[in-house]
């Protein structure tokens, strides 16, 4: 069953055992976009008719439930038990029996080697030690399996200054951008070291990590641009570039032999 506006309102108006006010606020923001937005995005990257998909850092399950409509089975994993509670409620209300949720860390995926046909991970990689997580993605992905990642790009700190600070008046975004630039420059660029705090990857950084882990990138571009017919199908969240740098990037790749 598809999740419609009635189900969204019904689930989010209930009391929760683990979900916090911040979890609920985040979930309302995600689901208020409407599930058709997520359906169009999944169709645009052609993640359809696969046997087993991992939604890595699934959050409140908006992507998970849409992926389940279009594929045989989906596993959702997230470290936040409150968001998993919300995701599970949506799944139960829609009677999606082809979803199973796990609480876990992207750095230590609780799955056997080469069990997934596809890995989908949206807006999570930048909070992790990227090299460790991508190594884990490669481990659990089948040979020839596909991977989609969306994460902050090198244009993100510029976005925070120009759009959030100057246009929206969120002056704290300037401090956030400065911290992001300092952490990224010092750790990921100078020391070639990845940390468990928000940073961004340059294109050559993620290509290097992919190559080390038997992964090949077939597409790299701005968030929400792949298969979007120049923005006519849906409006990307952060599909902007600044000085040619994507605020958020998306990539599609697949696992290759060594």
Spatial distance between the Cα atoms of 234 and 257, rounded to a whole number of angstroms: 35
pLDDT tens sequence across 156-214:
999 999 999 999 999 999 999 999 999 999 999 999 999 999 999 999 999 999 999 99
**Angle (deg, nearest 10), helices 81-93 and 21-31:** 50
Spatial distance between the Cα atoms of 89 and 96, rounded to a whole number of angstroms: 10
Spatial distance between the Cα atoms of 213 and 147, rounded to a whole number of angstroms: 13
Contacts for 148 with CB less than 8 Å, ≥ 6 apart: 45, 47, 118, 119, 120, 121, 122, 250, 251, 252
Q: Work out whether the CA dihedral 173, 162, 57, 75 comes out positive or negative.
A: positive
Q: How many CA atoms lie within 13 A of 98 on its CB side?
A: 18
Contacts for 145 with CB less than 8 Å, ≥ 6 apart: 114, 116, 117, 118, 119, 254, 255
Q: Residue 8 has what pLDDT?
A: 79
Class of residue 193 by CB neighbours under 10 A (exposed 0-12, middle 13-18, buried 19+): exposed
What is the DSSP secondary structure assignment for residue 129, as one 8-state letter? -
pLDDT band at 45 (very low <50, low <70, confident <90, very high): very high
Class of residue 237 by CB neighbours under 10 A (exposed 0-12, middle 13-18, buried 19+): middle
Mean pLDDT computed over every residue of the chain? 94
What is the DSSP secondary structure assignment for residue 108, as one 8-state letter? G
Query: How far does the chain reach from its first CA to its final CA, in angstroms?
Result: 41
pLDDT band at 69 (very low <50, low <70, confident <90, very high): very high
Q: Name the token pair of 39.
A: 């359906």
Contacts for 182 with CB less than 8 Å, ≥ 6 apart: none
Spatial distance between the Cα atoms of 53 and 68, rounded to a whole number of angstroms: 9
β-strand 116-122 against 52-56: which pairing, if any? parallel
Domains of the chain: 5-153+200-240+248-255 (3.40.50.150)
Contacts for 127 with CB less than 8 Å, ≥ 6 apart: 196, 197, 198
pLDDT tens sequence across 118-169:
999 999 999 999 999 999 999 999 999 999 999 999 999 999 999 999 999 9
Spatial distance between the Cα atoms of 183 and 249, rounded to a whole number of angstroms: 19
pLDDT at 1 over 70: no
Q: Residue 149 has what pLDDT?
A: 98
pLDDT band at 67 (very low <50, low <70, confident <90, very high): very high
């Amino acid at each position: 069953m598809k999740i419609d506006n009635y189900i969204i309102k019904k689930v989010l108006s209930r009391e929760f055992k683990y979900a916090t006010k911040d979890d609920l606020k985040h979930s309302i923001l995600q689901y208020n976009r409407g599930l058709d937005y997520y359906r169009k995005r999944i169709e645009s990257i052609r993640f359809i008719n696969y046997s087993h998909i991992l939604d890595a850092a699934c959050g409140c399950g908006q992507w998970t439930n849409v992926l389940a409509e279009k594929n045989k089975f989906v596993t959702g994993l997230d470290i936040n038990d409150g968001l998993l509670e919300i995701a599970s409620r949506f799944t139960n209300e829609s009677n999606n029996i082809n979803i199973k949720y796990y609480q876990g860390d992207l750095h230590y995926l609780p799955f056997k080697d080469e069990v997934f046909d596809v890995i989908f991970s949206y807006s999570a990689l930048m909070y992790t030690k990227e090299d460790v997580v991508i190594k884990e993605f490669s481990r659990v992905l089948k040979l020839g399996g596909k991977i989609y990642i969306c994460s902050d790009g090198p244009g993100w700190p510029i976005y925070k200054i120009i759009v959030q600070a100057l246009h929206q008046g969120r002056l704290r975004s300037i401090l956030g951008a400065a911290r992001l630039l300092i952490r990224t420059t010092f750790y990921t660029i100078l020391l070639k070291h990845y940390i468990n705090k928000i940073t961004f990857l340059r294109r050559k950084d993620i290509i290097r990590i992919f190559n080390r882990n038997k992964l090949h990138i077939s597409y790299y571009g701005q968030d929400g641009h792949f298969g979007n017919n120049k923005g006519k199908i849906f409006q990307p969240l952060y599909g902007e570039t600044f000085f040619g740098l994507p605020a958020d990037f998306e990539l599609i790749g697949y696992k290759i032999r060594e």
